[in-house]
């Protein structure tokens, strides 16, 4: 067994665990999707993910990409980021952080958490509990 296959085996276990821990049934498609998605911290659209997954040789349909992203989001494995009506990103990094969006380039850049505010229970509307706090700071390239 080479190091490569050893690493692959390790990652497979890790990814499987990640899903199982959240009560998600592991299937071939879900693993294929998770392998690509969780390979690193990244921001992907459903379409980009579909292409990347199918490039690995796996054969996964568009509907499954959406089903799976929806499931992962519900279980807290990915975060949805709504930039505009035509741009929904899925963020494989679910640690507490936020984003800068460069309107000129379309880049989505992570923001250090210390810049984000804390919302205390007492700050929230009466009778509600916080689910997520999403901050998008839109920036433009500085004019010369």
Partner DNA sequence: CGTGGCATTAGAATAGTTCTAAAATTGATC
Partner DNA sequence: GATCAATTTTAGAACTATTCTAATGCCACG
Selected binder of a copy of itself within 2, 84, 95, 96 (CB under 8 A): 84
Using the structure block, give the residue that is written with the tokens 């505009």: 84
* Distance in Å, CB of 25 to DNA, minimum: 4
**Which one of residues 14, 66, 76, 113 is an interface residue with DNA (CB under 7 A)?**
66
Classify the phi-psi angles of 76: left when phi > 0, otherwise alpha if psi is within -120 to 50, otherwise beta: left
Binding residue for DNA, selected from 14, 17, 20, 27, defined by CB under 7 A = 27
Cα(98)–Cα(89) distance, rounded to whole angstroms?
Answer: 13
User: Where in 90-129 is the site for a copy of itself (CB under 8 A)?
Assistant: 100, 102-103, 109, 111-112, 115-117, 119, 123-125, 127-129
Instruction: Give the Cβ contact number of residue 15 at 10 Å.
Output: 20
What angle, 0 to 180 degrees and rounded to 10, lies between the N-to-C axes of helices 28-37 and 3-21?
110
Instruction: Return residues touching a copy of itself (CB under 8 A).
Output: 80, 82-86, 88, 100, 102-103, 109, 111-112, 115-117, 119, 123-125, 127-142
């Amino acid at each position: 067994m080479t190091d490569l296959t050893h690493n692959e085996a390790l990652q497979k276990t890790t990814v499987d665990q990640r899903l199982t821990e959240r009560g998600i049934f592991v299937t071939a498609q879900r693993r294929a999707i998770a392998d690509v998605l969780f390979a690193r911290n990244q921001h992907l659209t459903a379409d980009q993910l579909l292409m990347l997954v199918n490039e690995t040789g796996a054969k996964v349909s568009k509907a499954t990409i959406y089903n799976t992203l929806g499931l992962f989001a519900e279980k807290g494995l990915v975060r949805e980021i709504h930039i505009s009506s035509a741009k929904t990103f899925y963020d494989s990094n679910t640690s507490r952080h936020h984003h800068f969006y460069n309107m000129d380039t379309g880049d989505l850049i992570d923001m250090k958490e210390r810049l984000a505010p804390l919302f205390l229970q007492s700050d929230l509307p009466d009778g509600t509990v916080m689910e997520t706090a999403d901050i998008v700071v839109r920036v433009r390239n500085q004019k010369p």
